[in-house]
Chains A and B, each alone.
Chain A
Amino acid sequence: MALDNAEILKIAKLARLQVNANQVDDYADSISSILDLVDAMQKVDTDGVAPLANPLDAEQRLRVDEVTANNQRDDFMAIAPKAEAGLFLVPKVIE
């Protein structure tokens, strides 16, 4: 399955990856070749086969709703690229 450049740019936007004009052809080639590889699946008859998400078919285990971790807010703020007064700073989103 070959992807055109517009499709590559759409995927890149969904993936939040900047792709420059001079890289689009390379991505189109390499991602198309990967999709060619995975398209071998489409010929397989999987009717009646239930999808397998967890290899043990295990259910998500739930725990008792109780406080188990200490407040580590300062530790987590300390490793942020930009933080101030207990807040993560990002470019302005509201005019």
Chain B
Amino acid sequence: MSYTTIAQLSQGLKDGTFSSRELTQDVIADIKLRDHQYNSFITLSEELALAQAEAADKRIAAGQAAAMTGVPIAHKDLFCTQGVRTTAASKILENFVPPYESTVSQLFLDTGAVSVGKTNLDEFAMGSSNENSYFGKVKNPWDTNAVPGGSSGGSAAAVAAGLVAGATGTDTGGSIRQPAAFCNLTGIKPTYGRVSRFGIVAYASSLDQAGPMTHTAEDAALMMNVMAQFDPQDSTSMQMETPDYTANLNDSLAGLKIGVPKEFFEAGLDAQVAEATMNAIKQYEAMGAEIIDISLPNLQLCIPAYYVIAPSEASSNLSRYDGVRYGYRCDDPADLMDMYCRSRAEAFGEEVKRRIMVGTYALSEGFYDAYYVKAQRIRRMIKNDFVNAFSQVDVIMGPVTPSPAFDIGSKTSDPVAMYLEDIYTLSINMAGIPALSTPAGFVNGRPVGLHIMGNYFSEAKLLNVAHQLQQVTDWHQQQPQSLQGA
């Protein structure tokens, strides 16, 4: 399958050019044929997908189709799917078949979308390269020597390779936007509380948020129309109406004020990435937007504060994996303590164990105020920087990552070097604001993303701003060389 969007598939289904069953069969055959090159899927759910496709075809025939009815998508293997194995890419959940459905995946079932399977990720969404999966590394379709980014690397690779037109991801510190940037996709992390977290395997609950990964802003809007619903089952879900995210895609950007923070262009940023980013931002001047220099003075502090808050919340969330009620249990435990300690040690990967240990330390007696509470105070300073900035500008733009996709294996020996990859994305989760990555060109054949950040609940504006760039540039339509002519 060549470059195909959700909007095109939706039209083809509506016109009767193909049925959802035919489309779904093709998609599954294509994944079986080609995914060995990328390892983007952990589990395929062929039978369920075909049953969903047949049901979708009936809805389409009855004239009851919504935009995504019959469209095949994939879910990051962090969303619990009833009856379909959900692993979080961890040995500890290798055989976990959830007895319930996450709200996000249920909303896609309700609208008649077809779920073909579950995509690979960094274990428990902890990582920036998708090298931390129990089910093997994911490779970037743009260059199979490169990482696809993480943690939603399988979703990114599956869409970039043309295996599916859209996939869900989650973003705790950049896990949608960084792989979207590395794989030439549009990926949006909505405002905290916009999309339900119910049934998503938890990493850091005050930072986690789910969103779509697609080729275009229009497709992301179509997925957001399904995903962004108030959910009484998530106590942090915001009780508000869902706008039609496609309604304002074509709004004029004349008079738009774009803030460009100087801290996003300081030491550490690859010169060619800086150039590509500024080139993309300059496209907006022709549309009548105004570019304004701004400052986010506490940006650098997002790394230390994040690497306290996220591991602390993770150590608490992951205490549920005790070998008692579900998941892996070690063989022949001597006693209860031995069962806890060995089950967890044998089945968590190294990065997960490191973060649990850091979080346990930060929350332990005598250190809580110096680490966790201190980090939460810095978190408010970071949020206040954004609140101040949005009193002057409508959106903020900058790079998503300091460099294009790096080579597989090049950063695995040094966890701290890997953490520094997230410098531009972490602060967004700390503040809880929405942000997206949209294609912005290439450096040495590897994609670069433009980071567009907005005020709370401004997702429709961000998608409008990205869509307008996609009307005057064709970066998002480029395909990996290996797929051209396929």
Contacts and interface: CB of A to CB of B under 8 A. Distances in A.
A93 B333 CA distance: 12
Contact of B305 (A30, A41, A79, A91): A41
A17 B383 contact: no
Contact of A55 (B308, B322, B324, B432): B432
Given A34-B307, A56-B192, A76-B325, A42 B374 contact: yes
B481 to A, nearest CB: 38
Contacts of A12: 341, 357
Given A16-B340, A17-B357, A46-B374, A56 B193 contact: yes
A39 interface: yes
Contact of B236 (A40, A58, A72, A93): A58
B154 interface: no
Interface string A10-39: 011111111100000001001101111111
B353 A17 contact: yes
Nearest to B337: A16
B357 A79 contact: no
A55 B430 contact: yes
Interface residues of A, number: 52
A78 B354 CA distance: 31
Contacts of A3: 361
Interface stretch (B18-26, B92-100, B136-144, B461-469): B92-100
- Chain A contact residues, majority secondary structure: loop
A52 interface: yes
A33 B74 CA distance: 37
Interface in A57-83: 58, 60-63, 72, 75-76, 78-82
A44 interface: yes
Interface stretch (B55-63, B122-130, B342-350, B402-410): B342-350
A79 B325 CA distance: 7
A38 B206 contact: no
B325 A80 contact: yes
Given A30-B354, A41-B375, A15 B360 contact: yes
Contacts of A91: 333-336, 338-339
A90 interface: yes
B99 A76 contact: yes
Nearest to B363: A14
Nearest to B330: A18
10 contacts: A11-B357, A37-B419, A41-B375, A46-B377, A46-B381, A49-B380, A54-B192, A56-B456, A79-B99, A81-B323
Interface of A: 3, 8, 11-19, 27, 30-31, 33-42, 44, 46, 49-56, 58, 60-63, 72, 75-76, 78-82, 88, 90-93
Given A17-B341, A31-B354, A50-B380, 13 more contacts: A11-B357, A17-B353, A30-B415, A35-B358, A41-B371, A44-B378, A44-B381, A51-B377, A55-B430, A72-B99, A78-B99, A81-B328, A91-B338
